Amino acid sequence: MRFADIGQQLRAYRLESGLRADEIAARLGVSRAALYRYEKGEVIKLDTVRRLAELLKVSPLSLLGIGVEYYNRPAGFQERMLQIEESADQILQVGGSVCYLTTSDAFDSVLANAFAELVQASAENERPTQQAAVEQIIGLLNARKRVYAARKPGIIAMLSAASIQRLLQDGFAGALALSEHTREACRRLAQAEVENIATIMESEPIGLQFGLLPELAEQGGTFQMLRSRDRATLAVNPFPPDLPPNAQLAVTIITSADDAIAAHQRVAEAAWREAVKGSAAASRVRQMLASARASARHE
């Protein structure tokens, strides 16, 4: 058993459960310090793994890193992505409107403001819990960007034209009921990030390759494949970074199963062949951006 891997997945599933570390430790009959040591990779007994799996409502095989991992909360998923990105040398993304790791610092700032409005709109007795969830998500997203800046893995991203159009129309955090001021900030941010996407497509900087998926090639959903020296990991239908922290309306799947990796690799290769690239892709993205700005002026 790879105890470091078990520890990582234990932490991700703890965040997924919404339970505090002291709550889990108390139910297990161990100290909180012992639980943290397990998360750092200390040897853990199989019986403890079984009891943890029952408590966290996951398969023991998933906790051991053998089965498929399922996450329906953004916090658990973002923690798991952070762990995987800490050793990833290449990241492949198919679908979505942006590649989060390449977004600007303004993205995180505007997103934090949007989530702050979500907290203020909640019932007063729920605000401390909501605020903690927001701080947790923003902290995990910031940590992912720090890891990317330090390691600079290669990224190939094939973005969805339809998703970009929706982003330009609604702005980021489109699922949230926001004030007009914040909604407009989210739309302006969307325009700035889409312009950045076009620049990357046009300039093709070292380590970054962006393509634009035509309509017929973007029907298979969103997924990412992350490769390190000794492992490939697949995340199917990953949560977008602007999903509300307490959202539980979707499930993302993470696995390193060889057959799943091979099948998605074939899909990715076919999508890359169909994707529009370079200056042609940049031109199409800027056309969408110009259309969105023209519509905004006429409203």
Task: Provide the pLDDT for residue 216.
Answer: 55
| Domain match, 72 and 34 both | no
Contact criterion met (CB below 8 Å) for 153 and 222: no
Task: Provide the pLDDT for residue 65.
Answer: 72
- CB neighbours of 144 closer than 8 A, spacing ≥ 6? 78, 81, 82, 85, 100, 101
**Residue 51 is encoded by which pair of tokens?**
């009891």
Q: Give the helix, strand, coil percentages of the chain, each rounded to 5.
A: 60, 10, 25
Residues of the chain with pLDDT under 50: none
| Domain match, 50 and 107 both | no
Q: Cα(241)–Cα(108) distance, rounded to whole angstroms?
A: 9
What is the dihedral sign for C-alpha 136, 140, 143, 149? negative
| Domain match, 39 and 178 both | no
Give pTM, 2 decimals. Answer: 0.86
The residue out of 10, 36, 67 marking a domain boundary is 67
What is the dihedral sign for C-alpha 276, 278, 280, 284? positive
Q: Cα(287)–Cα(214) distance, rounded to whole angstroms?
A: 15
Q: Cα(49)–Cα(56) distance, rounded to whole angstroms?
A: 10
Task: Provide the pLDDT for residue 220.
Answer: 59
| Domain match, 94 and 170 both | yes
- Predicted confidence (pLDDT) per residue in 190-203, tens digit: 999 999 999 999 99
* 3 state SS of 243: coil
| Domain match, 20 and 153 both | no
Total domains present in the chain: 2
Q: Cα(207)–Cα(218) distance, rounded to whole angstroms?
A: 23
Measured from the Cβ of residue 90, the count of other Cβ atoms closer than 10 Å reads: 14
| Domain match, 280 and 238 both | yes
| Domain match, 191 and 52 both | no
CATH number, domain of 60, equals: 1.10.260.40
| Domain match, 156 and 169 both | yes
CATH number, domain of 211, equals: 3.30.870.10
